[in-house]
Structure 1
């Protein structure tokens, strides 16, 4: 029987094209032209897949999705969004929160649509077949938390058998990715085909025969076995749910041959298996409660290697703040939150509470707590948004937090009321008043601060919570704010606007408007770097370089934006271009940023000594350069780990 696809599209021409394309591929299709009709159609009998246009008459597509996800019939309905209005990665990420995995922007190719359809329908079939299965992390944590000793036999994975000693994985064959440990070494060029054949046959899969053959030294063998086991288990986090049969065997108490870093393995697995901001693990009611470390927190947290934002968040978990307060201004924490929930590392209460330090545990230090928990550490990242906001603007009443809030949090204020307040407040105001400025007292810092606060407050996450009149108001707010910002941040446009207002004083009120305009673009580019909007950063920094082609700092930051952009990550040509740009920047200006950027490129390439030299050059010019300090610290920590020795890491 053909699988049924419902096309919710109000444009007859587009809908007819989609229907013809899908029917040609053997699917049964049905059509609706507005949101209410679509909802009623699904209520009479859910299709296998919904192809949804967001801007539908009578009921907005986002509102339709929200209603579906709250209903029994639509909770798990596969949905592909096809939109020509809401463009960009931020909207796609926000739609993921409503269970949308494929977000197509019109015009899209027939190939892209068919690939998305096949992926969604095949995934649904796999989910139906795996109703009794559990995600891999569930099985792994169950064995770890119960100190299980024995073997876990997984179905549907070549019959993979994972062996545990006291809750720690010690052996896997066949693997989830590679056939076995020998195949892993062969694929990575560590052993030859003949040596792999011997390992499988005469060696009977005993890894020590590889030492006998002279393929690896014994310390190298242990290191490779750890890398193989870690890599295979992390990949399994991204796999489908599995059925498992546990077969225990007795083990002498206290025996521990070697250990994987299990908390770190889960943390890396959660990063691999989901986008950082899409899956909120805690129920919504805990975000208004006070949070503190549970006893399990102290047993596991020192095994983690957290980034600065995560360390700052962890440092706030002292029982005096609510979960929402700790998360304010943070993003990208969902893998860490999933780990904290899985391992039971947090405790919640309606009133302030104290941390649960395990009794009798002589805790020396916590590696993942910033010394300055307020975030004012000298090791802050190079491009900090707060560093770019003028002191005068910090005294203003903030419109929104300076960083985006987590995507799924209980609303502390009525969003609809907030939308109406801002919308009414913008009526009848000129562009200066939109940003709380007077025409004769222009401040680019204040302009930038208010612009990014407003666009973050009413970004895709807010849009996904609204529909109808409020959604239209948000679109008008963003259109007004964007037009005002583009006008006031451009020298020529601002002059013309001042003339329209009848002002005697036009322009930016500063000598050398072209120089100031390059500074405006440069500061905007640094803000986009901080927000990780690489394309926008590159565009703004390219504009700055076009205006001031002999400014080495501008050119260095442009090179950095190209290097950090994920779409350039696999291109040797782009890396070479970045290297040449940084050398050119240093020939123009000996700026510390260029040395620091070069250092990180070398460090990423495994050239630690060369990287150290570049970081040192940066610090000679600026002793507090955050990015260079961070690079040297990473090299130092890496060397300290190497000094401890492989055996100590394995057996301690």
Structure 2
């Protein structure tokens, strides 16, 4: 009988001798030299036998035994103790109480060791598999190679525990699958079977493209396995190094079982599972972290995991145990040893490797804030090269007549004061009724020529600043009134008596105009104009959460940024900043769509629900949930249709 054996011995020479002896007997050996390594290995690997030295570094072998019995009360593992220190009947009795199968005192003979291994494995035969699901989990956990045959269907090749391919030659099930799904006609099917039935012939004969063959082969393999999971008979597995018919189409077992559990075809019994474990404490194992990033969980499952802490019983965790979906999900985790149950509260396992990101975790509101308007020296040089500043070097930089300079400064201050309280039409001596674009253009150049840079460059710095403020007011007004959309938004705001110029008030007004204009451009799918308008709004009011959220959405939706990692990261950063400033429905909805595009349906669903809790009328969130529901329904129907024809 071939077995997987964990050998925990810190004596290097003895460990190598025992490993060589076990391999010669046909066994697979996992070798560690410390107690903590043994515990870590036991948590992530499935083994048939533990050979344990009691005097191990870091964590002693006695502690390993104690933790093993505490963590696996329902899954006893055959254990052979080897010790050169703890000798005598009293130590043997203590070891037996901890579940030790055989106790070997050093030195021992090869014959003694062989008898102990053979006896321990014979007393603990391989676990019986109540259905194909259990066998597949066993194959996966033990990383077996071999051929699985279900009925008279195409044999399936497994490599290191996962299905890699299937052998269609001489079989007709794949051909009839293609026929039933409209991929082959009857004549093509007969031609395929007459020519041996190897899948690549379909491409060679022009019946399918290579990409179509790969996709259909993967679906066929996944569906054939999913459909057979509950079977208790009619299948067999032969360990060997399998031949893999091309193309190879690997299927991830954790994802296969997860989707089958969701569809209710994995053969789990939620009520029985709940009744058996209701008063026990579920907790994550280290194996949890080896598998969790392979899955794309739904939002309710992510929330359930956030409550799992080793301190609540199963009954306390599932407030509504009649919900079979949650119970089936935990049953799936238990079947893959991602969680285990304990009689008392425990501390959960932690990753035994560097874990950069846990994909299936609740989103945190804190996000890195990306600078809103970063301009580096290269940008400045580029801009100045296109718009050079020409200075008259013959003119003196310091005015000759200080009284004239003072008079000019007072005149500029009076001009700026005269602008206060006037709306944008009044700045150009126009009214909404008399407005026209030619009139605006004429008035703008007439007003601003008195404040051109060459007119005030020789004035003191304070006077130059006043002139620049005057020009900025005219520029804001002109830019607003020359754009049809921003003019429309301004006209709406003008009726609310907020159209006057008053220092910072004008910045707030201009920011609001640009924001409103940006939203209109978004509705028109003019993402370039939307991004420009919203960028102006954020520059004027960088800490407004709505401005940040909509600018993020405009950046994300702009087709010009489709392949720009920097633009996508900036959009995410702006959304994070928006939610830090204030939790708004728009920001949650936008982030939901970004997650949906990444295929993170569970996280996206959670964001849409957050948006609707803040604003039940948020249309982007409602549209997102409808899209999710349609996608899930299509997936479910497609899975069932493919499985049951």
TM-score category of the 2 structures, normalised to the smaller one:
0.3 to 0.5
TM-score, normalised to structure 1, is: 0.34
TM-score, normalised to structure 2, is: 0.35
